[in-house]
Amino acid sequence: MFHPLYVDRVLDPGFTNWKRHFADASLRVHRAHLTMLEEQKLLPQGVAARLHGAIDTLASSFVPPAKIPDGIEDLYFLFERELGALVGVETAGYLHLARSRNDMDTTIFRLVLKERLLAFLGRVLNLATVLRRGSDRTELFLLATHGQPANVSTLGHYLSAFLAELLEDVEDLFAGLETVDRSTLGACAITTTGFNLNRQRVAELLGLGGLVANSYQAIATGHWLTRPATAARQLALDLTRLVADMGPKASAEVGILRFPDALVQSSSIMPQKRNPVILEHVRIQAGLAAGTLGSVADLFRNLAFQDVNEVADAPVTVLFEALETLTSAVDLLTVTIEALEVDENKVRSIARDLGVTTTELADSLVREKGISFREAHGVVHAFVKAGNDKAALRSGFAALGHGPLDRSDAWIDDTLSAERFVAVRKVYGGPAPEGMAPVLELLDGQLGQFRRRLERGGGR
């Protein structure tokens, strides 16, 4: 008998995890292994048929108890006991021929994790699709460096930048999925077996993409947990960065971003408040998920390279929970991006008042008057410091010794306009349509490739 505390804190929670997450996948593994044994002629006549029938009976009628029974270690041993009650202990024992819980359990975990990752990738690609639509938006937008207004751009330029980040995360998630999508069955405890197994056939029957070839790696590796956890954690951190950047832009003082009433909350005491709490909830959920995902990867620090319980149900279940939380954050961000509104007048006002477009004035002086950029920078800096006094600009230019600034006040105003600032930035990757076109083409190609991979179940 197991110690009551061990049952309460380890065995029964594990039993609950198996019932909730892994029971169906267990049956898939039992059937695939049994089919392979039959095909390899490793079973006495009639045993396979009896076992197939008994597995089907248990699948349709057996309901595990609420608590783990006394003396039972896990769901598998309970299943084997029930199987023995149907076909006899000796016949039931043939099902476990040439396998161990080492190779059996990790294949079961991989099957379920593959399904969860595919579902998660579907939601992430839905967010990517919404970001791609947003990448066509041309509303003027304000971008910052070091928390200070820096350049005028477009909302599409901003959202496409984050889309590019997100698709890098998707690439990492697919790489993690490839690591997961492998069977470990046939490795047995460590070194395979003397029976003539067909490991490839089992993987095929389970719909897995391949094998973990080396039998020791099959039972010792933790990469099938750490690689997807690390990729998902990076995505979570990227979500927190985006909404942390959007928050100040939605503040009352800045006000260039707005959200509809359905995504804001008011105050219980202050009638004027419109709190964009949707951003906070994305940040909270993504941040919580990032912490949990990091803890999954950290489990493997200084861990012996052998079969250990760090690759058992508890860490896998924690990973599932983190993916659920992160999925919620992804969904919240998706509706947030769909609902974004930009106040272009505020963008123009801030750009004018804070001199955000004066870089273009300096650039234009270089292009049109043939002076050095350092000279132009100094003259325009003095112009800004003087409160955008055009007389100061003219006198500063004249002091350079290049003659008078023979440009009209209208030329100066047009050069400083937010629209011109965007329109001239046609270089590959810039916010002008000419700069955005190749970027959007690249993103379309990547997004299409990932959608096709998802449709194929993650394969390349």
DSSP state letters, 83-118: HHHHH-HHHHHGGGTT--HHHHHHHHHHHHHHHHHH
CA end-to-end span of the chain: 49
Do 355 and 213 lie in a common domain?
Answer: no
Which pLDDT score is estimated for 263?
Answer: 85
pTM listed for this prediction:
0.95
**151 within 8 A of 354, measured Cβ to Cβ:** no
Is the same domain home to 294 and 244? yes
Task: Kindly state whether residues 157 and 230 are assigned to the same domain.
Answer: yes
CATH code of residue 307: 1.20.200.10
Looking at the fold, whether 196 and 179 belong to one and the same domain comes out as yes
Cα–Cα dist 202/211, whole Å = 9
pLDDT given at position 260: 86
What pLDDT is stored for residue 375 in this prediction? 94
Residue pair 29/206 in contact (Cβ under 8 Å)? The answer is: yes
One domain for residues 401 and 295:
no
**What single-letter DSSP state applies at residue 7?**
I
Distance CA 107, CA 26 (A): 9
Beta strands in 329-432, from DSSP E residues, in sequence order: 341-342
Query: Is position 335 within any domain?
Result: yes
Per-residue pLDDT, 395: 92
Looking at 97, 114, 133, which one is the last position of a domain? 97
Query: Residue 255: left if φ>0, alpha if ψ -120 to 50, beta else—which one?
Result: left
Q: Is 460 a member of any domain?
A: no
Task: Scan for tokens 């508890």, then name that residue.
Answer: 314
Identify whether residues 271 and 309 lie together within a single domain. Answer: yes
Q: Is residue 13 part of a domain?
A: yes
- pLDDT per residue, tens digit, the chain (460 aa), is 899 999 999 999 999 999 999 999 999 999 999 999 999 999 999 999 999 999 999 999 999 999 999 999 999 999 999 999 999 999 999 999 999 999 999 999 999 999 999 999 999 999 999 999 999 999 999 999 999 999 999 999 999 999 999 999 999 999 999 999 999 999 999 999 999 999 999 999 999 999 999 999 999 999 999 999 999 999 999 999 999 999 999 988 888 999 888 888 887 788 777 888 999 999 999 999 999 999 999 999 999 999 999 999 999 999 999 999 999 999 999 999 999 999 999 999 999 989 999 999 999 999 999 999 999 999 999 999 999 999 999 999 999 988 899 999 999 999 999 999 999 999 999 999 999 999 999 999 999 999 999 999 987 7
Same structural domain, 248 and 268: yes
Average pLDDT, the chain: 95
Indicate which CATH number applies to the domain containing 65.
1.10.275.10
Do residues 157 and 268 share a domain? yes
Record the tokens describing residue 255, joined without a space: 């006000």
Residue 48: give the domain boundaries: 4-97
CA gap 350, 96 in Å, rounded: 71
Does 33 reside within a domain?
A: yes
Token readout for 379 is 């003259």
Question: Within this chain, do residues 21 and 132 fall inside the same structural domain, yes or no?
Answer: no
With both helix axes pointing from N to C terminus, report the angle between 75-87 and 23-39 in degrees, rounded to the nearest 10. 50
Specify whether 90 is located in the same domain as 10. yes
CB atoms within 10 A of CB 67: 12
Residue 289 lies in a domain: yes
413 with 447, same domain: the answer is no
Report DSSP state, residue 388: S
Q: How far is CA 24 from CA 21, 27, 55, 389, in A?
A: 8, 5, 12, 74
**CA distances, 66 to each of 18, 221, 233 (Å):** 12, 32, 34
Q: Is residue 196 one of the residues assigned to a domain? A: yes
How many independent structural domains does the chain possess?
3
Could you give the count of Cα atoms lying within 13 Å of 289 in the half-sphere of its Cβ? 31
- Note whether 193 and 119 are same-domain residues: yes
